[in-house]
């Protein structure tokens, strides 16, 4: 089968033929219909992601498809069933074997492409804002990188949770996408982020997917008792946090990594995904997919992420 595969540590990912897998105990074999791309896929190729698997491995972290076979000890799934899987790896291929406890039944009303776009980006924002930051109705949420894969979902979910949402992004086109997702206020990357947020009354929760200068400016624009979520570092610069400023303004910096919950609280992830599927079916969520590409164009999809030329999600359809 075709797979976007890293054969040895440090080697580039290539689309090659590899042996089709078979499910073992507790696993399911899936015909993959859609796989969402994530910034973490780029980091894995460089070996800098915190959960980079040992080579050889196939990239692709979130998939939707149809069960082709079930391994021993698997209950609750049947051949032919539509499912979604937060796989962590193995999704950019025609087929994949995944642990059954990472899979969820996929309702018929959710297309495969949408299911592949929902899981990590929406799950990250839903769990970060609700479970970790305890965002409350009426609070002001600042989202940096607001037109990106996770940032856009934070705008949408923050609005659903009753917050006033400030979206920060680069350029009119990206800000328009954030506005369509529900942002109340727009700040271009060319503007002084700290001053503009302070003019809007300051931030109670910061969802930062950028790091670097954006984090520093957002940090300085916080209200007392604000909560800050360092979600990602698209700028390439990991923020350094002055503890004395946390003390003076009574701020909380809250770590969150959705993949970590699979190891010690997988029930929280599953419950989040179930809620997101329900919200989609109720018409409350509209995942924005800027590009849908076949597996043969996976390199093009990765380049869209690398050059920040996508908005929302890029989805590959093996």
Q: Which pLDDT tens digit goes with each residue over 223-260?
A: 999 999 999 888 888 998 989 989 999 999 999 999 89
Residue 189 sits at φ, ψ, to 5 deg, of -60, -20
- The answer, as to whether pTM is greater than 0.85, is yes
Instruction: Please report, for the chain, the start and end positions of each structural domain, with discontinuous segments joined by +.
Output: 2-119+262-317, 134-253
Q: What is the pLDDT of residues 170-208, one digit of tens each?
A: 999 999 999 999 999 999 999 999 999 999 999 999 999
Domain 2-119+262-317 superfamily per CATH: Medium-chain alcohol dehydrogenases, catalytic domain (3.90.180.10)
* CA 290/CA 313 separation, integer angstroms: 6
Write down the mean pLDDT value for the chain: 95
Judge whether 178 and 149 are in contact, CB under 8 Å.
no
Report the CATH number of the 134-253 domain.
Answer: 3.40.50.720
* CA 88/CA 311 separation, integer angstroms: 22
């Amino acid at each position: 089968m075709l797979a976007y595969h890293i054969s040895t540590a440090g080697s580039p990912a290539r689309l090659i033929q590899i042996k089709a897998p078979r499910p073992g105990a507790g696993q399911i074999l899936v015909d993959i219909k859609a796989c969402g791309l994530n910034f973490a896929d780029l980091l894995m190729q460089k070996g800098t992601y915190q959960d980079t698997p040992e080579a050889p491995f196939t990239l692709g972290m979130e998939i939707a498809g149809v069960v082709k076979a079930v391994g021993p000890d698997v209950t609750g799934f049947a051949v032919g069933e539509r499912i979604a899987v937060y796989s962590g790896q193995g999704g950019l291929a025609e087929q994949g074997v995944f642990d059954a406890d990472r899979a969820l039944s996929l309702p018929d009303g959710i297309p495969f492409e949408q299911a592949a776009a929902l899981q990590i980006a929406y799950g990250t924002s839903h769990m970060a804002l609700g479970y970790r930051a305890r965002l409350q109705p009426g609070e002001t949420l600042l989202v940096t990188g607001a037109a990106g894969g996770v940032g856009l979902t934070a705008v949408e979910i923050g609005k659903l949770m009753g917050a006033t949402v400030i979206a920060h992004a680069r350029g009119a086109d990206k800000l328009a996408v954030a506005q369509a997702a529900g942002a109340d206020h727009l700040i271009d990357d060319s503007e002084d982020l700290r001053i503009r947020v302070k003019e809007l009354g300051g931030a109670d929760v910061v969802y930062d997917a950028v790091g670097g200068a954006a984090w520093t400016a957002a940090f300085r624009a916080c209200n007392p008792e604000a909560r800050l979520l360092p979600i990602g570092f698209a700028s390439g610069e990991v923020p350094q946090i002055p503890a004395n400023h946390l003390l003076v303004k009574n701020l909380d910096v809250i770590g969150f990594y959705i993949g970590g919950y699979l190891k010690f609280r997988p029930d929280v992830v599953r419950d989040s995904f179930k809620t997101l599927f329900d919200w989609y079916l109720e018409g409350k969520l509209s995942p924005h997919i800027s590009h849908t590409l076949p597996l043969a164009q996976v390199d093009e999809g990765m380049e869209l992420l690398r050059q920040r030329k996508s908005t929302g999600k890029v989805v590959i359809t093996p």
